[in-house]
């Protein structure tokens, strides 16, 4: 089945982008900021929080990194002017991490300063394992410089994550916990679904017991139920955590969580780099690839 999923993904990559686009756009606000604003306003009207994610990573020039910084600054300004309940998610390779770490540090500092001026928050997203150390190092440096409006992400499928969490809980870090999506070797990443689930719950319990603010980011019913159980057993107030989901994914589950009185935040991606983002999401969920290919075959 694993081989079949790979073949399906290869087949999808051969489909012209313009045919994939209508389906991919179910999970992306659009290419422009105005479209993201429209989506976030609709989510806020339904008592959901949002995080705006500007698509694009692995920039190759200083100019691209600075341009990404300006786009993110504009997002924060727009969120403030429009009165939206949304924060910002960034990827460090988008800000020049692989070009010059000093450049990346300065770009992120400027974004955090803008966000702090608006009383807003920035989440540093986690990318592939080649930059896990540098991502956590930069986060710690920013905290040491006095920034309190910043948080990180931990990927439960990485074998190192338990040790990373043990360090993070010492400062009660604002942490987003995810399964992980990047393809990593078995030597550093868990591959078994149940092992990943088990590690996710183990890390979640560690974070909640340490009274860290945790973003429980999952679309997995089993993990959602595990989160409910921990919250109930620890008698956690609603402002001690939140659930998070991606835009366009499992709306029924999202609404059920919200109806039970839990905070729900939706990640809202937008931007010109929608195709590469979509391919990663389709890789995460091969069943989605099947639906897309079937829809295209029926349509044509």
User: Among all residues, which ones are annotated catalytic?
Assistant: 125, 176
DSSP run (H or E) holding 175: strand 175-178
CB of 176 within 8 A of CB of 123?
yes
**Residue 276, C-beta contacts closer than 8 angstroms, at least 6 positions apart:** 55
> Buried b / exposed e across 104-136, counting CB within 10 Å, b at 16+?
bbbbbbbbbebbbeeebbbbbbbbebebbebbb
Length reported for the chain: 300
Alpha carbon 157 to its chain centroid, in Å, reads 15
Q: How far apart are CA 238 and CA 25, in angstroms?
A: 32
DSSP run (H or E) holding 63: helix 62-82
Planar angle of CA 229, 152, 87, nearest 5 degrees: 90
Closest by Cα among 179, 178, 97 to 135: 97
Phi, psi dihedral angles at 247 (to 5 degrees): -60, 130
Q: How far apart are CA 145 and CA 139, in angstroms?
A: 10
> What are the C-alpha distances in Å from 240 to residues 41, 60, 140, 209?
24, 39, 22, 11
Closest by Cα among 129, 126, 128 to 139: 126
């Amino acid at each position: 089945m694993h081989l079949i999923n790979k073949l399906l993904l290869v087949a999808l990559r051969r489909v012209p982008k313009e045919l994939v686009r209508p389906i991919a756009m179910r999970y992306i606000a659009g290419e422009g900021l105005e479209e993201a604003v429209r989506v976030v306003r609709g989510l806020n009207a339904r008592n959901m929080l949002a995080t705006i994610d500007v698509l694009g990573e692995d920039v190759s020039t200083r100019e691209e990194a600075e341009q990404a910084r300006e786009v993110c600054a504009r997002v924060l300004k727009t969120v403030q002017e429009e009165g939206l309940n949304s924060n910002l998610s960034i990827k460090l390779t988008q800000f020049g991490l692989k070009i010059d770490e000093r450049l990346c540090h300065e770009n992120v500092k400027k974004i955090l300063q803008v966000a702090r001026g608006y009383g807003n928050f920035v989440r540093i997203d986690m990318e592939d394992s080649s930059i896990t150390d540098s991502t956590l190092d930069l986060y710690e440096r920013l905290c040491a410089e006095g920034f309190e409006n910043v948080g990180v992400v931990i990927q439960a499928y990485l074998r190192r994550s338990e040790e990373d969490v043990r360090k993070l809980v010492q400062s009660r870090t604002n942490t987003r916990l995810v399964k992980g999506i990047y393809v990593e070797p078995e030597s550093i990443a868990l591959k078994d679904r149940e092992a990943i689930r088990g590690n996710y719950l183990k890390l979640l319990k560690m974070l909640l017991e340490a009274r860290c603010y945790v973003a429980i980011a999952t679309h997995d019913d089993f993990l959602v139920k595990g989160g409910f159980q921990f919250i109930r057993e620890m008698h956690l107030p609603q402002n001690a955590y939140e659930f998070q989901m991606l835009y366009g994914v499992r709306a029924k589950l999202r609404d059920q969580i919200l109806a039970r009185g839990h905070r729900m935040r939706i990640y809202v991606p937008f931007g010109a780099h929608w195709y590469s983002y979509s391919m990663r999401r389709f890789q995460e969920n091969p069943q989605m690839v099947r639906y897309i290919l079937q829809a295209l075959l029926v349509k044509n």
